[in-house]
Chain A
């Protein structure tokens, strides 16, 4: 029996190529945080700042934040109770520790159990991921604040936070 070398070789090359692409795609997932899909959350949270992905903080963080909207990082961001409840439910259901979200639990690595951190930019993992960003870049007029993810991560609104 003759072995069909040519088709076999082509098959192997195709397979190797697909594996490479797939591996890259999976590696990219490490920097993917599903963006807010709920229109109310998008509107109410996203009109002043990027509507941060709920998976970036644990559920208890969102609960605390939504309970203190009148003192929201120096602003009174109070909402009517009905809207606030809807938003809280969404954030909690999609929080980083809501289960099955391996990559965001990576961002939550090092957060003490029971702690309710409020600033994503103070999470230990966030700090170590950004340790190489020089001071002058943070002060750049297009950046202004560490919470302005889109200044550097241009696809942040779509959930991608690659370098």
Chain B
């Protein structure tokens, strides 16, 4: 009986810890939400951002998919010929766990594709999209 209680409390503790222990990706989303004064992010909006063509950036990179490819779970390729690992978290579980790196690439890539930096709302939507991929 005592044993049973021990196991049960162990399981409860595990469930609680996973529920409250947010990873770096979740921290980023929280941060973007606060900056955007947004209540929620939309994977659908993120997908649109990822696939649509922009005219404000560099002509040879009109959209995210120019380099990242249309398949989020497949590799992309930079104009330099270098392979880019897939953006989908399901196949690249370590992606977006280094906040500085995420911010660096949002800055670089949004400037190239959109001709401006992305807003916190856009970043949150896009991150939500790739987390679900």
Measured between alpha carbons, how far is A147 from B82 in the docked complex, in Å? Answer: 10
User: Which range holds the interface residue count of chain A?
Assistant: 10 to 19
Measured between alpha carbons, how far is A18 from B112 in the docked complex, in Å? Answer: 54
- Are A49 and B108 within 8 A (Cβ)? no
- Are A145 and B111 within 8 A (Cβ)? no
Task: Give chain A residues whose Cβ lies under 8 Å from the Cβ of B78.
Answer: 48-49
Measured between alpha carbons, how far is A144 from B78 in the docked complex, in Å? Answer: 10
Asked whether A151 is an interface residue with its Cβ less than 8 Å from the other chain, the reply is: yes
Measured between alpha carbons, how far is A74 from B112 in the docked complex, in Å? Answer: 10
Task: Give chain B residues whose Cβ lies under 8 Å from the Cβ of A147.
Answer: 80-81
Asked whether B79 is an interface residue with its Cβ less than 8 Å from the other chain, the reply is: yes
Q: Is the interface of B mostly helix, strand, loop or mixed?
A: loop
Of all chain B residues, the one with the shortest Cβ separation from A148 is B81
Q: Which of A76, A142, A145 contacts B80 (CB 8 A)?
A: A145
Asked whether A111 is an interface residue with its Cβ less than 8 Å from the other chain, the reply is: no
Measured between alpha carbons, how far is A142 from B58 in the docked complex, in Å? Answer: 22
- Are A50 and B82 within 8 A (Cβ)? yes
Beta-carbon contacts under 8 Å, B91-112 to A:
108, 111-112
- Are B111 and A148 within 8 A (Cβ)? no
Going nearest first, the 7 A-B pairs with the smallest beta carbon separation are A148-B81, A49-B80, A144-B81, A49-B82, A48-B78, A145-B81, A48-B80
A selection of 13 A-B contacts at a CB cut-off of 8 Å is A48-B80, A48-B82, A49-B78, A74-B58, A76-B108, A76-B112, A77-B108, A142-B81, A144-B80, A145-B80, A145-B81, A148-B80, A148-B82
Task: Give chain A residues whose Cβ lies under 8 Å from the Cβ of B111.
Answer: 76
Beta-carbon contacts under 8 Å, B50-76 to A:
58
Measured between alpha carbons, how far is A151 from B83 in the docked complex, in Å? Answer: 11
Measured between alpha carbons, how far is A104 from B82 in the docked complex, in Å? Answer: 24
Task: Give chain B residues whose Cβ lies under 8 Å from the Cβ of A49.
Answer: 78, 80-82
Asked whether A163 is an interface residue with its Cβ less than 8 Å from the other chain, the reply is: no
Measured between alpha carbons, how far is A163 from B80 in the docked complex, in Å? Answer: 21
Measured between alpha carbons, how far is A74 from B59 in the docked complex, in Å? Answer: 12
> How distant is B57 from chain A, measured CB to nearest CB, in Å?
11
Of all chain B residues, the one with the shortest Cβ separation from A147 is B80
Asked whether A135 is an interface residue with its Cβ less than 8 Å from the other chain, the reply is: no
Measured between alpha carbons, how far is A77 from B81 in the docked complex, in Å? Answer: 17
Beta-carbon contacts under 8 Å, A142-163 to B:
142-145, 147-148, 150-151
